[in-house]
Amino acid sequence: MSGRATACVGSAALALGELAAALGRHDDAERHFEQALRRNGELGARPWLERTQFAFAAMLERRGDSVRADAVRAATKTGITHASR
């Protein structure tokens, strides 16, 4: 929330996932990204959901898990979210 107006900046778990990924804590990052995917899906925050999927896929690529990264990217293109599974 910001001031009198409300603004949605997505799940805080996204920022935690990005931080954990930057620190090389991939297991923690994965947990945070999955939580952010669920929450952003529940909120219907599509732009933040897509940003989470992009960041999650990038972390998986850096970790060497290109198969899962491709799956996360494919889910972005098809509109599949953890909330809709």
Q: What is the pLDDT of residues 2-30, one digit of tens each?
A: 567 667 778 999 999 999 999 999 999 99
pTM: 0.80
In a domain, 85, yes or no: no
Domain that holds residue 35: 12-79
Residue 75 domain-assigned (yes or no)? yes
DSSP string, the chain: -BTTB------HHHHHHHHHHHTT-HHHHHHHHHHHHHHHHHHT-HHHHHHHHHHHHHHHHHHT-HHHHHHHHHHHHHT--GGG-
Whether 18 is covered by a domain: the verdict is yes
Q: Report if residue 7 sits inside a domain.
A: no
For the chain, the domain total comes to 1
Of 19-28, 49-58, 69-78, the range with the lowest mean pLDDT is 69-78
**Considering the domain boundaries, does residue 6 fall inside one?**
no
